[in-house]
């Protein structure tokens, strides 16, 4: 079977999809060419579910594993593309039979179990809108998002429902059904058992005509800089997903791919559900939370070839003093990509030393829907750089002028706003209920990302900080990332979060919050040593003047350091929205 497949798809197999020649790939790229990679719906239009699952199920990939699930207690389950086609058809039929019509929102609140992944695709099939919530949210953030997203259906488990949603039911009058993944029986006409519904549902579902501009996903941002925003995406976003799967994640037909992100965050849907299936490969899902030993075992035992994770996880792996390549057989692993926060150069170097490969940083946002800037596998990684723009993406460093115009900064190494030329397929279509805010993010023909960066003379982009986090000290603009990365070079430092503390003389004073590696004590001597270390490496103007040790830095549940919380706590101000703060 496999040999026949290889024979038939030999060309695909032999083509090296990655960007060997960046310049020519960039200049010759056309989005219209990506269109040819899709089959289109028999009924007309473009639907994520058809391109990700059904078209493979109808081909000789039908028996390939689409989803390999690893349960928290050591369970294993797998689904072929054909099985996924049938299961997702059943869930689409469930929604249809309940009278849930095109455009209505279906929320999910679940740990990473197969039903969540089946439901996601079933939701796309019925042209409903998927709104995934992180299962560890407390009741308030859940309520807030379900109200603002106009939830019609909630897919969840008995436990999560009883603990977090049942007490608030009267505040959710628009909610029509709750579907419980693990209930054997319906509770009443509204609270239904998923197994019972699935038992009755047909395995055949014809996806209705889908406009590529039909809404597919409503995703809330991470809340790192403020109130999480509801970001609207459409089916057409798969152009970006497919393209980045090819050029950044370098998918080949036999890849075992593992993305550690939860679908509660955009990485967990764009790259934890959609992209690997567009490429017809095996998508590994681990139900459990971070555990270094478990992770190394998964990389080894499941022969993971492409691994997509986040700086927070890499920093946790770095804390352990071990020799992973000696202790585990990681010979299948050929690419590690990272996203979500700046990846400190130290982490890239750790990867080279300990995992025998550089970790590739890439940049994007909930708003961009997919990867926009990346270090490509075929090119030398520049530690600390986010890489170069994807083909089809125009990225620039710009300055916003007072008169509402924007000037592109073409000079190398000059900080400015990181901006993108609008029009890429996975660009968000609005901020839910905040059309004004959406419009404001486009200025003079550019999308202003809210991040600051600079570009070097070879066109590599370097992250400086979020516009909100930039520190103004004695007439200098200091990006926290630079200071944090230097502190991380010190052997005692596990993590650092840097803020500007208001100061009557110098505007803001650079203050660093530092968590230490095991074996180091938070002494005054170490504080002085770190201040000296910073001065030597960064110069007096930029180096932190104050250091405070903290056992754990405040982070979002997706693992991003919340500098705004460090700052408001420092200043004794209200903490603002903390719905995404890790426990």
Residues that bind ligand ATP (CB under 6 A): 221-226, 228-229, 265-266, 339-343, 361-363, 365-366, 386, 449-451, 463, 466, 560
Q: Which is nearer to Mg ion, 305 or 449 (CB)?
A: 449
Q: For the chain, report the end-to-end CA distance as a whole number of angstroms.
A: 49
Min dist. Cβ of residue 242 to ligand ATP (A): 20
Q: Considering the complex, what minimum distance in angstroms separates the CB of residue 217 from ligand ATP? A: 13
Choosing among Mg ion, ligand ATP, none, which partner's interface includes residue 361 (Cβ < 5 to 8 Å by kind)? Answer: ligand ATP
CA distances from 58 to 79, 86, 238 (A): 15, 11, 19
138 binds, among ligand ATP, Mg ion, none (CB under 5 to 8 A by kind): none
> Smallest distance, Å, CB 509 to ligand ATP?
23
Distance (Å, whole) CA 101 – CA 156: 20
Cβ at position 225, least distance to ligand ATP in Å: 3
Instruction: State in angstroms the smallest separation of the CB of 396 from ligand ATP.
Output: 16
Closer residue to Mg ion in complex, CB, 221/473: 221
**Shortest Cβ distance from residue 224 to Mg ion (Å)?**
6
The whole-angstrom separation of Cα 474 and Cα 539 is: 13
Minimal distance, residue 521 CB to ligand ATP, in Å: 31
Round to whole Å and give the CA distance between 569 and 563: 10
Which residue in this structure is represented by tokens 């000059």? Answer: 414
Q: Out of Mg ion, ligand ATP, none, which partner does residue 567 contact, by CB within 5 to 8 A per kind?
A: none
Where does 328-479 have alpha helices with state H?
A: 345-350, 435-440
In whole angstroms, how far apart are CA 287 and each of 87, 117, 264, 406?
19, 12, 13, 45
Task: Kindly state the smallest distance separating residue 451's Cβ from Mg ion, in Å.
Answer: 8
104 binds, among Mg ion, ligand ATP, none (CB under 5 to 8 A by kind): none
Q: Which is nearer to Mg ion, 22 or 463 (CB)?
A: 463
Distant-in-sequence, close-in-space partners of 569: CB < 8 Å, separation ≥ 6: 554, 575
Considering CB distances under 5 to 8 angstroms, the limit depending on partner class, which of Mg ion, ligand ATP, none binds residue 146? Answer: none
**Shortest CA distance to 233 belongs to which of 123, 32, 368?**
368
333/464 with CB nearer ligand ATP:
464
CB atoms within 10 A of CB 202: 13
CB nearer to ligand ATP: give 103 or 226. Answer: 226
Please, what is the minimum distance in Å from the beta carbon of residue 351 to Mg ion? 26
DSSP 336-371: EEE-SS---HHHHHHIIIIISSPEEEEE--TTT-S-
Cα dihedral 118, 5, 335, 378 sign: negative
Gap between the Cα atoms of 6 and 478, Å rounded: 53
Nearer to Mg ion, 183 or 562 (CB): 562
Comparing CB distances to ligand ATP, the nearer of 80 and 365 is 365
Is the alpha carbon torsion for 297, 298, 303, 307 positive or negative? negative
Q: Which residue is nearest to Mg ion (CB)?
A: 221
**Cβ pair 508, 473 in contact under 8 A:** yes
375 interface partner picked from ligand ATP, Mg ion, none, CB below 5 to 8 A per type: none
What SS3 state is found at 139?
helix
Q: Which residue has the tokens 């478990």?
A: 294
Residue 69 contact among ligand ATP, Mg ion, none, beta carbon within 5 to 8 Å by kind: none
Contact 447, 427 (CB under 8 A): yes
Nearer of residues 193 and 224 to ligand ATP, judged by Cβ: 224
Min. distance of Cβ 440 from Mg ion in angstroms?
14
- If the CB atoms of residues 221 and 556 are measured against Mg ion, the closer one turns out to be 221
Contacts with 285 (C-beta within 8 Å, 6 or more apart), sequence order: 67, 68, 69, 70, 112, 114, 117, 272
Which of ligand ATP, Mg ion, none sits in contact with 451, Cβ below 5 to 8 A by type?
A: ligand ATP
Give the integer Cα–Cα distance in Å for 482 and 478. Answer: 8
- In the complex, what is the shortest distance from the CB of residue 361 to ligand ATP, in angstroms, rounded to a whole number? 5
Taking Cα atoms as reference points, which of 400, 538, 392, 383 lies closest to residue 463?
A: 383
Site mask, Mg ion, residues 202-221, x = CB under 5 A? -------------------x
Closest to ligand ATP by CB, 12 vs 413, is: 413
Nearer to ligand ATP, 114 or 384 (CB): 384
Residues that bind Mg ion (CB under 5 A): 221
């Amino acid at each position: 079977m496999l040999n026949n497949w290889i024979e038939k798809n030999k060309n695909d197999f032999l083509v090296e999809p990655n960007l060997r020649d960046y310049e020519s790939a960039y200049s010759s790229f056309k989005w219209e060419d990506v269109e040819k990679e899709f089959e289109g719906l028999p009924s007309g239009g473009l639907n994520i579910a058809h391109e990700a699952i059904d078209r493979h199920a109808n081909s000789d990939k039908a028996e390939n594993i689409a989803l390999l699930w690893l349960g928290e207690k050591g369970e294993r389950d797998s689904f072929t593309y054909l099985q996924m086609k049938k299961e997702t058809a059943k869930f689409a039929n469930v929604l249809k039979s309940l009278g849930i019509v095109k455009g209505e929102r279906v929320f999910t609140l679940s740990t990473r179990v197969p039903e969540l992944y089946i439901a996601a695709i079933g939701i796309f099939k019925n042209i409903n809108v998927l709104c995934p919530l992180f299962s560890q949210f407390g009741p308030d953030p859940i309520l807030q998002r379900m109200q603002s997203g106009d939830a019609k259906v909630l897919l969840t488990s008995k436990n999560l429902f009883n603990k977090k949603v049942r007490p608030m039911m009267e505040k959710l009058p628009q909610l029509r059904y709750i579907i419980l993944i693990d209930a054997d029986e319906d509770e009443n006409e509204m609270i239904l058992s998923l197994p019972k519904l699935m038992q009755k549902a047909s395995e055949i579902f014809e996806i209705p005509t889908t406009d590529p501009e039909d809404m597919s996903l409503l995703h809330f941002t991470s809340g790192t800089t403020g109130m999480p925003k509801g970001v609207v995406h459409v089916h057409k976003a798969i152009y970006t997903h497919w393209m980045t799967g090819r050029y950044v994640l370098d998918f080949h037909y036999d890849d075992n791919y593992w993305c550690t992100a939860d679908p509660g965050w955009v990485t967990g849907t764009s790259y934890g559900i959609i992209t690997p299936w567009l490429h017809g490969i095996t998508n590994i899902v681990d139900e459990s939370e971070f555990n270094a030993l478990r992770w190394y075992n998964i990389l080894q035992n499941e022969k993971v070839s492409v691994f997509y994770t986040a700086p927070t996880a890499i920093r946790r792996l770095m804390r352990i003093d071990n020799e992973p390549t000696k202790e585990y057989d990681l010979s299948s692993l050929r690419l590690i990509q990272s996203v979500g926060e700046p990846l400190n150069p130290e982490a890239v170097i750790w990867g080279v030393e300990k995992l025998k490969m550089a970790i590739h940083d890439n940049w994007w946002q909930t708003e961009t829907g997919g990867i926009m800037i990346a270090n490509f596998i075929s090119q030398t990684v520049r530690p600390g750089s986010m890489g170069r723009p994807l083909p089809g993406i125009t990225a620039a460093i710009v300055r916003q002028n007072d008169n509402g115009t924007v000037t592109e900064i073409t000079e190398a190494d000059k900080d400015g706003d990181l901006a993108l030329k609008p029009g890429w397929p996975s660009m968000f279509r609005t901020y839910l209920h905040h059309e004004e805010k959406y419009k404001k993010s486009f200025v003079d023909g550019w999308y202003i990302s809210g991040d600051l960066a600079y570009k070097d003379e070879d066109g590599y982009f370097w992250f400086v900080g979020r516009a909100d986090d930039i520190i103004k000290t004695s007439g200098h603009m200091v990006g926290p990332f630079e200071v944090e990365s230097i502190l991380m070079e010190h052997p005692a430092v596990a993590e650092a979060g840097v803020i500007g503390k208001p100061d009557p003389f110098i505007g803001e004073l650079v203050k660093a919050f530092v968590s230490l590696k095991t074996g180091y004590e938070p002494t005054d001597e170490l504080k002085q040593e770190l201040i000296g270390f910073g001065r030597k490496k960064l110069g007096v103007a930029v180096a932190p003047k104050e250091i405070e040790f903290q056992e754990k830095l405040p982070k979002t549940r997706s693992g991003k350091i919340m500098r705004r919380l460090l700052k408001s706590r420092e200043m004794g101000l209200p903490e603002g929205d903390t719905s995404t703060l890790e426990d």
